[in-house]
Structures are given as C-alpha cells and as structure tokens.
Amino acid sequence: MLCTSKISGSQPVQGTIFTQAMIKKIAQTITVILILPIYIVFRLLALVNKNDAFASSSQFMSLLPGKTGSYLRNSFYTLTMTKCEQGVVFSFGTLFSQVDTEIEAGTYIGPQCNIGSCKIGQDCLLGSGVHILSGKNQHNIESTDIPIRQQGGRFEKITIGQDTWIGNNSVVMADIGNKCVIAAGSVVVHPVADNMVVAGNPAIVIKER
C-alpha cells in the first residue's frame, strides 16, 4: 500500500511539470515565429555591419513591454548572439551593442541595462541600470592633438562567473569570478576573484562569502 501511495501521489506532480514544460516549449516556438521578420531584417542589415545591425535591432526589441517582450527578446537573442540559452529574462529597456555576447541559462537581466561584449554565466542577477562595458580600453587618450573619438581603441570580452549578483547602477569593466556580489553603484575596474563581495568606486573587496 505504501509503494502504491507514493506512485499515485507523484503522478499529478509529474503531470504538472510535463504540462508546464510543454507550455514553455509552445510559447518559445510561437515567439521564434513572431520575431522572424525582425530577424530577417537584421540579417540583411548585417551584410553591411553586423554589430550596427545588432545594436539597432536591440534598441527596437528593448521597447517591447511585459513578459511577452522578454520572451520575444530571448528568442531573438538566441538566434543572433554568439550564445543565448532559453529562459534568460531580458527586462524592458535593456540594450546590447555587441553580437559577440554569451548568456547562460537562469540569468536575470534587469531594466535599463547597457551591455557590451561579455560572457555571463549561469544563474546571474543583474540589477537595473547595470553597464557592462567591452573592457576599459575602448578609447585611446594618448594624443591631445586628435579628438578622443578618432583615436580608436580595443574591445575586450568581459567574463562574469556563474551565480553572481551585480547591484543597481554598477559599471563593470573587468572580469568577475563565480558567486560574487557587486554592491549597487560599484565601478569594477580590476578583476574580481571567486566568492568576493566588492563595493565602491573603484570597487574593492569588502569581505569573502
């Protein structure tokens, strides 16, 4: 009787999980179909300049409201980014500028973020207004005879480890390890090791988790 009770008791739970997975799969399929026209336009524009086409498409996609907008963004970025796994939450108003971006599953990206070339690990949390720059060498400043905007620079791909939380309005210009906490308003200019809590401008280690 005990074994029978356990089996019968687990059936509704398994059925619910199966139903939820099916609903998610259907929703993902529908959103892929819906964003196909935007994706086709992106592919055409990418023939001229891929990053410009990606940034322009991201601006448009960022304005789609609600959970539907997040699903549509996820489908679009899955097709366009170097890597984007299903289930990533892309909140309203968040912009991406570089197509060479990788985002693992379980990550939440808050509203009004501005993100360059980076690799974001699994289960990360980004608060609102977080800026991830493509490194700290995007603009050369050596010459005073040439405008800064004409001096060029170098883009770097920033890595953020898994299960890291980056607080509101932080600016990230260097790699961050796994399981870190970046306090709100921090400016990260030096690499952060695993399990560290940092804060300030420039960000310094407050304690180890």
Residues forming the active site: 139
Q: How far apart are CA 208 and CA 179, in angstroms?
A: 10
Q: Any idea what DSSP says for residue 131?
A: E
Lookup: tokens for 7: 């089996």
> How far apart are the C-alpha atoms of 162 and 120, rounded to whole Å?
7
Backbone CA torsion sign across 184, 191, 178, 24: positive
> Per-residue DSSP letters for 71-91?
HHHHHHHHHHSSEE-TT-EE-
- Rounded to whole angstroms, the Cα distance separating 151 from 141 reads 7
Residue with tokens 């906490």: 181
What is the distance between the alpha carbons of residues 60 and 54, in angstroms, rounded to a whole number? 10
